[in-house]
A and B are shown apart, each in its own frame.
Chain A
């Protein structure tokens, strides 16, 4: 658990604030009044049944999915239809996808350096040095000149993490980063994410890796039917869940 997370409530400041966020897909009410604050340095795990709008919620936080009602403030910027600097906000919010979504026509090196060069106007040299450093951090520096199509799933996801980190994001969003991986890769990638959590990166992770949630998370959000049914520390949620729905779900997956 991180230092920031242990600080008292007065000194903590939220980097993400959601107030009564609602979202509809046509007639389907996907998000039903979600309110939550995420604090700097926190590692928040979101879990819940399939179709409970976990992904949708995560995607509203960088406005890949615009929300319909309520307020979302990320890094001091209110996300609504008149937001001017959406691109700047997105540059500060990294995202890792379940399906990796690496750019297939670019080498690993270029995948990582593209956004820093194009969005942040970094010099190529600096961007490449940083890319190599990040690849060392995720354990695959030797693959810098490979193409994504030639990598295994676990390697691709590590590149995707490096790509997100290259922008030095304030917040990292991860949507089921290990769901498409084999057990061994799951362990490797989760180890990298745990290591990131311990360095104080603010992270919101949708995952069903409950071992990871127990060890690395500061807070768990249980989603069901587009709502946060229950939230709390891992001890609270795993030890003494208050809601029947939570208990049911946990008994199914544990």
Chain B
């Protein structure tokens, strides 16, 4: 590779000349590089050609449009959508509030969201749907502006941050309550993407505290506690998730007869517990690594100031631990969301299972590709959002105001 071209090289060139110069220096400067560039271009070209041809000439998204309800909420009864819409409206607003309270939306993120919106929204909405989309977008925008505005006022800013965090903690109970109040929905009727979201959200809310406790237990000075936590973690990490789910489905009754009424708990809740227990072990390991990386000097400084063990833990050790483990934690949460598609093993109809069901409809024979692609894009976008979120958390706790 040659060194970066000095800036004055471009002087007096028009755009295409610059592009040619750039390509010459970066892509075709040596024989090896030229060959590599051509091979990669050829592969990309073939891929792009087949993809575009497929999208333009073959793909028929009618299967997604017609089944969007099934994909998103499963067999949720007609007329009960009011139990879901508030959360669909609240979550973008909460995301935007947090985004604005801890950072700024960059140009690239807006571009990504725009592309995603153009690809996905037409498939999801028609008629009344648009109104909800517009309201959700407007709410999110207002929340974002509010959060940005609050930066100028420390007191308000603190409150915005508290509301953002509190909102996320309230979101799960709120969505569960909405599903259950007023002669609520049987859990067997929950389904589609909403089921994936609610199961993994609940498991995340449970797994993080459980992981913290397990990590603390595994590093504790009490031998018995340490042993118990280590055994639990190793057990959970050694079992396939499918086995744990199957156990939660079938065997919980035989292991825990009548204990705490666990045998009569709804399947969906048992699945949530299974995911929580499984993910908690992995979260614990991610946190333990991050905790080991907290410098001893930080603990000493906290102790020297008179902070008690618990206070030092809450104000000093855990925040630094979370920063250290943020990428690994995000990985676990993404994995959790992906694994939530395994609920079909115990007979629940999540988004993936709903997608499979559509392929049995006579009208859409042989249209699996579109449906699966749609499911894939949805999951990918969520995972991408989560990994960006972890970057923000890392930055917020990084101890610098420098831009990265």
Assess the B304–A62 pair: CB atoms within 8 A: yes
- In the complex, 17 of the A-B residue pairs with CB atoms within 8 angstroms, ordered by the A residue number, are A62-B304, A64-B300, A64-B303, A87-B307, A90-B306, A95-B304, A101-B300, A103-B302, A104-B399, A105-B399, A147-B399, A147-B401, A149-B398, A149-B399, A150-B400, A164-B305, A167-B306
A103 contact from B301, B303, B306, Cβ within 8 A: B301
Q: Is A83's beta carbon under 8 Å from chain B? A: no
A167 proximity list for chain B (CB < 8 A)? 305-306
Does A210 count as interface, using CB distance less than 8 angstroms?
no
| Cross-chain contact B399 with A148 (CB below 8 angstroms) | yes
- Residue ID in chain B nearest A98 by CB atoms: B297
Q: Which residues of B contact A146 (CB under 8 A)?
A: 401
Contact with B along A24-42 (1 / 0, CB 8 A): 0000000000000000000
A-B contacts counted at CB < 8 A amount to 77
A97 touches B402 (CB 8 A): no
Within the assembled complex, what's the spacing in Å between the Cα atoms of A105 and B298?
11
B300 contacts A105, CB within 8 Å? no
Contact in complex: A90, B305 (CB < 8 Å) = yes
Q: Which of B306, B319, B402 has the most CB of A within 10 A?
A: B306
- Spell out A's residues near B (CB within 8 Å): 62, 64, 87-88, 90-95, 97, 99, 101-106, 114-115, 118-119, 146-150, 163-164, 167
Measured between alpha carbons, how far is A253 from B380 in the docked complex, in Å? 64
Is A90 touching B303 in the complex (CB atoms < 8 A)? yes
Does B169 count as interface, using CB distance less than 8 angstroms? Answer: no
Q: Is the CB of B400 within 8 A of A147?
A: yes
CB distance from A62 to the nearest CB of B (A): 6
**Which residue of chain B has its CB nearest to the CB of A145?**
B401
Contact status A91-B305, CB under 8 Å:
yes
Q: Which of B297, B308, B397 contacts A101 (CB 8 A)?
A: B297
Contact across chains for A118 and B401 when beta carbons are under 8 A apart: no
* B305 A150 Cβ-Cβ under 8 A: no
Question: Given A105-B397, A114-B315, do A87 and B304 touch, yes or no (CB 8 Å)?
Answer: no
In the bound assembly, the distance between CA atoms of A167 and B307 in angstroms comes to 11
B298 contact set on A, CB distance < 8 A: 101, 103-104
B308-A87 in contact (CB<8A): yes
- Give the shortest distance, in Å, between B317 (CB) and chain A (any CB): 10
Residue ID in chain A nearest B322 by CB atoms: A105
Specify which chain B residues have a CB less than 8 angstroms from the CB of A119 in the assembled complex.
305-307, 311
**Quick check: is B291 within 8 A (CB to CB) of the other chain?**
no
State whether B303 touches A97 (Cβ < 8 A): no
With A104-B320, A105-B319 in contact, is A94–B304 under 8 Å at CB? yes
